[in-house]
A and B are shown apart, each in its own frame.
Chain A
Amino acid sequence: MDSVLKYKTQNRIILNMEFSNLSIQVEELPDFKEAKLEPIAKKYLLLLWFNFAILLLLFSSMLIGLYFFVENIPSFVFKISVPFLTLILLIRAIEIIKGFPKRKFGVRELDIIFQKGFFFFKETVIPFKRIQHVEIKQGPVLRILGLYSLKLYTAGASSGDLVIDGLHLEVAEKLKAKVLQVTENEDE
């Protein structure tokens, strides 16, 4: 709660000042880039490659099926589709290899941060007090790996919801407890 008070005093300064000064004031605000981030569980990489393998299987069985079971297919179909599908797989593979180390989450005093993505690097921050409820989930493949997903729901439209995949149970529970604790404090 201390930080809120600190925020409040700062707030007053901002309210009183002229707008030409805003950028100077803003630079003194806590920067989300300075938050300490932690990587998600290493095992989650297996799941990403598993999904990749399924995609590979799907594509190759499609091509093989076309080749053996449909007669008189002009060869340009393969000349176009093979490079195209290979390109998709290549992009997926690069995304997994380069993108996995970027999957990180962090908790600040009043909000939670999650970032991911190589081709499109996305950083999302949700203030704790805008979180409606928290859910720890586990899909079938995640169950084999012993990993969990943390889903953070915001009110109304679901586009603002955040899912952090690939957490160990104790980490997920700690995060959930943290969110709930802060939300309760806010309610008081």
Chain B
Amino acid sequence: MRMNNSDFSVLQRQSFSGVFLIFFSDLAKQFKRYFYAFFAPFLSENFRTNYLGYLIAGLILLVILQFVYSYLSFLKYQFQIQQKAFIVQKGVIKRSKVEIPFHRIQNINIQQNVLQQIFGVVGFQVETAGESASEVKIKALDSATAQSLKEALLEEVKEVSNSTKFEVDETALQEDSNSIDSPTQNSKSSTLLKLSFGKLLKVGLSSNYLKGFGLLFLFLSGIGNFVNDILSQFIDVDFDENLVNRLPETIGFIALVAFVFVLLAFLLTVSLQVIKYFNLKVIRIKDNFEVSHGLFKRINQVIKKTKTQVVSFEYNPILRFFGINNVFVSQASAKEIAEKQKIGLVGISLSQFEEFFEAIFDLPFQQEFVQQNTSFRFMVVLFWRQVLLYIGFGVAAYFLIFPIAGFGLAFIALLGFTFLNYKIVKKSYVAMNDDLLKIGSGSIDTKTEYVALHKIQSVKLKRSIFQRMNGHADLIIYNASGSHSIPYLPYHKARLYFNLILYKVETSKLGWI
């Protein structure tokens, strides 16, 4: 079996160390599932003294059975490249055969998690358009086999797309399969972005700046109270022991606890981000990008031009200070994409983004847009949404501290939120030209999302009863990765954008997923 490493036309099995990998991951799964069933008997003393031996024997037997089963499932898991499809046969008791026609193959990912690293194998994943049922995940291949299997598959995919070029002209699928390319063809690939550790640290710190500021604030207030305490030791003034006088200590203690919590949360999020984007590498292969990152779990993703739905360009004042930006890419997906699932190109410079933008959209980066801002009336709406918060602040301070503090705190909250609301409205807009839709949002941070017009799937205009009175509308656009809403546009303008988007989508001949 090891002999014909690269001959995939005959049935092949996974790497032999895969047996252990499968065994351990199955065992972990079973353990998770039946943990309580095994754990419960230990609680009874009677059981512990009388039947412990049997239980352990039973467990050992189960583990052995599991190993046999894992070994069988290793034996029965076979794959092969046939005339027109990639075929996987699997299942010990219930046999199943998955067939993926070459033209349906969208992505091939090679990944390695911790367990796979231990056993020196890699995971091999074949992605198809949409349906997750027809996806294939091979758990354990040695890295060389995985690479040659990937190349062999890509070769087939290319051939299929070439031979059918004239039959399925201009469909999205066609473009997709054409654009899959082997990363080993060095002549065509170039590195777009390679994130150094220092820069990654900057990204981690500045992306969590709010927590950082909170930390600083708590730290300073803690120091202040500490100084106060020391001073009072020397001056030795005897206050009455009432709540107001004890308040500084109480606040000092609360601040300390909060400080520790926020510090932990801050360190955790920063280190999580550093672990996630460790050694981020973006390699350009023609107009597609291969992204790999991660410390413990190396993730390999491909950003495909055709599958890309939204490109979001984000920065905040601190990132701006460092001259770096974060870019997040959403691709077509069966589910609404959560923030975490977007492919992140963090720590990217403007010129790198320019290159990325031009490759993904096939347009020059300098674009002219017709822009429509959100009306400032939206600030009134935001105010009403937050009014309970102000009242809550005020009432809490009124009773807890002293009456005037209630008004003071409510007023400060009002000022702070009004500033944020102003920023939110100021940064919210929709802009459009012949090919692109640009959506702005953000408050302290700034987010610019680009959507190719022909990838929009439906449009919605939403008007509350108040908006109907004051002539405004929310514009909502939907594409294959989710929805985007632009609030409070003047109604007649929103209607123009609505009509123009529809017209653009309906006249477009380009594929959209």
Contact = CB atoms under 8 A, between A and B. Distances in A.
Chain B binding surface, main DSSP class:
mixed
Given A130-B458, A130-B505, A22 B370 contact: yes
Nearest to B493: A23
A176 interface: no
A32 B502 contact: yes
A120 B462 contact: yes
A122 B461 contact: yes
Interface stretch (A38-46, A72-80, A134-142, A150-158): A150-158
B478 A160 contact: yes
B330 to A, nearest CB: 9
Interface in B421-469: 433-434, 456-465, 468
B368 interface: yes
Contact of A19 (B335, B370, B460): B370
Contacts of B457: 126-127, 130, 154-156, 160
A120 B500 CA distance: 23
A156 B336 CA distance: 8
A64 interface: no
Contacts of B481: 156-157
B483 interface: yes
A124 B477 CA distance: 10
B130 interface: yes
Contacts, number: 120
B35 to A, nearest CB: 34
A24 to B, nearest CB: 10
B68 interface: no
A61 B130 CA distance: 45
B499 interface: yes
A139 B50 CA distance: 57
Contact of B505 (A122, A127, A156, A158): A127
Contact of A32 (B462, B465, B498): B498
Interface string B49-93: 000000000000000000000000000000000000000000000
A29 B500 contact: yes
Interface string B331-346: 0111111000000000
A121 B478 contact: no
B370 A127 contact: no
Contact of B332 (A4, A14, A120, A155): A155
Interface in B478-496: 478-483, 495-496
B503 interface: yes
A159 interface: yes
A15 B463 CA distance: 31
B506 interface: yes
A15 B457 CA distance: 22
B458 A156 contact: no
Nearest to B371: A19
A155 B331 CA distance: 12
A155 B131 CA distance: 11
B506 A129 contact: yes
Contacts of B369: 19
Contacts of B479: 156-157, 160
A7 B507 contact: yes
Q: Which residue of A4, A33, A121, A156 has the most chain B CB atoms within 10 A of its CB atom?
A: A156
A19 B369 CA distance: 8
A32 B458 CA distance: 13
A187 B434 CA distance: 24
Given A119-B465, A127-B506, A158 B335 contact: yes
A154 B458 contact: yes
Interface in A1-59: 4, 7-8, 11, 14-15, 19, 22-23, 26-27, 29-33
Contacts of B503: 7, 29-30
A162 interface: yes
A19 B31 CA distance: 64
B277 interface: no
Contacts of B499: 26, 29-32
A156 B332 contact: yes
A184 interface: no
Contacts of A15: 434
Q: Which residue of A120, A129, A159 has the most chain B CB atoms within 10 A of its CB atom?
A: A159
Interface string A86-120: 00000000000000000000000011000000111
Contacts of B434: 14-15
Contacts of B468: 121
B512 interface: yes
A22 B463 CA distance: 25
Q: Which residue of A121, A124, A157, A162 has the most chain B CB atoms within 10 A of its CB atom?
A: A157
Contacts of B502: 32, 111, 125, 127
Nearest to A22: B370
Interface in B324-362: 332-337
A105 B499 CA distance: 17
Interface string A155-173: 1111110100000000000
B255 interface: no
Given A32-B499, A111-B502, A158 B465 contact: no
Contacts of B496: 23, 26-27
B513 interface: yes
B495 A33 contact: yes
Nearest to A121: B463
A124 B480 contact: no
Interface of A: 4, 7-8, 11, 14-15, 19, 22-23, 26-27, 29-33, 110-111, 118-127, 129-130, 154-160, 162
Which 3 A-B pairs give the minimum distances between C-beta atoms?
A156-B480, A160-B478, A126-B458
Given A11-B507, A157-B335, A159-B483, 7 more contacts: A19-B368, A32-B495, A125-B460, A126-B458, A130-B505, A155-B457, A156-B457
Interface of B: 130, 309, 332-337, 368-370, 433-434, 456-465, 468, 478-483, 495-496, 498-500, 502-503, 505-507, 512-513
